[in-house]
Amino acid sequence: MNLVDRKIVDEMYRDGWLYTSFGEYWRRKYGYKVCKVPLNAGFTCPNWDGRIADDGCAFCPNFARQFTYDSFRTVINKSWKEQVTHQVKHYKGMGAGDKAMVYIAFATNTYAPLKDLKKIYDAALDHKDVIGLSIGTRPDCLPDEVLDLMGDYVKQGYEIWVEVGQQTPHYHTLKDIDRGHGFAESIRVVREAHKRGIKVIFFNISGMPGESPDEMVETARILSALEIDAVKQYPLIVMKGTRLAEDYIKGKYRPLGRMEYVNIVADMLENMDRYVLIQRLSKDCGLETKLAPEWNTYRLIVTPLVEKELARRKTRQGEKFKLSLNVDELKPLKKVD
């Protein structure tokens, strides 16, 4: 079983929710608004610094390797501690939340010696309004000692999540996009994280090259069977300057159409256990960095379309999720004389 509070989820479904919204779950769990405050702690990634590879995953843009994301420009040149203080104040000031989770985003935020990680995590937690950490990383960069460190924070009462960039469970895709890891790493991470009270979010991309819609739906069943705590779902976006962009320009890769994506996500939600929280259903991406798809992938645009599709089908998350047969519900066997 995952670490999600099932009573809260059951209550949400009694209240008519079509899927288990992460934001709503947190409001009910804490009784106050918690905002996620994204920060860049300056980590690199073994898939671009030469340890595994030096040119990243096929869809990983060069700009992601620099500290250039707009909303972080104001905090460049500040110390890590000052960045945390500045950004928590900024998000609280916008009314985003009463308390904050520091989301250490960008690159692989567990990829450093343990003592350095401890300094960064300790400094982020040393703020009166910070209730925990959400740490983005790869599944092959969470050795036991790093999980133990996070487990110590859980024991101190902090909310600790790891955000695992698995992106797909299908090995042929992982190989094609040069991830440099398989799916076994994630199976271990979920098991070891849960033992320590650490919750696990998976990033999942639909529309990967060579992946069929059936495989994308099977992904929802695999992630449910693995009992992850939450998922960040989004379409594959072709960013300028990537190897995927070269394939797109040569006509070797076709992104999903808007309604194609909406239908696949609705199918996935029907096949996803309702105790897996849904943190997002698409991804915000500015035109200046995006090559394709041509449709607007912003969450505020795509999420209502998915909700509309679920309502049209008169269905909701988990409606078709099943991992074993119930003989009593099966059609009768044909009599053979």
- Side chain identity at 230, as an amino acid letter? A
Measured over the CA atoms of residue 223, residue 228, residue 234 and residue 237, the dihedral's sign is negative
Q: How far is the CB of 158 from ligand SF4 (least distance, A)?
A: 25
* Residue 236 touches ligand SF4, criterion: CB under 6 A: no
Mark the segment that binds ligand SF4 (CB under 6 A) among 2-10, 23-31, 41-49, 71-79. Answer: 41-49
Mark the segment that binds ligand SF4 (CB under 6 A) among 7-15, 45-53, 257-265, 300-308. Answer: 45-53
Binding mask 112-151 for ligand SF4 (x = CB under 6 A): --------------------------x-------------
Find where tokens 């610094």 sit: 49
Contact of 223 with 183, CB cutoff 8 Å? no
78 SS3 class: coil
Of residues 60, 149, 164, 276, which one binds ligand SF4 by CB under 6 A? 60
Q: What is the separation, in whole angstroms, between the first and last Cα of the chain?
A: 45
Q: Which residue, 47 or 233, has its beta carbon nearer to ligand SF4? A: 47
Q: Which residue, 241 or 304, has its beta carbon nearer to ligand SF4? A: 241
Instruction: Write out the binding residues for ligand SF4, residues 66-105 only, by CB under 6 A.
Output: none
CA 75, 90, 201, 300: dihedral to nearest 10 degrees? -110
Residues 6+ apart with CB under 8 A from 243: 55, 58, 59, 178
Of residues 21, 40, 47, 134, which one binds ligand SF4 by CB under 6 A? 47
**Nearest one of 256, 259, 265, 252 to 292, comparing CA atoms:** 256
Q: Which residues bind ligand SF4 (CB under 6 A)?
A: 45, 47-48, 56-57, 60, 64, 107-108, 138, 165
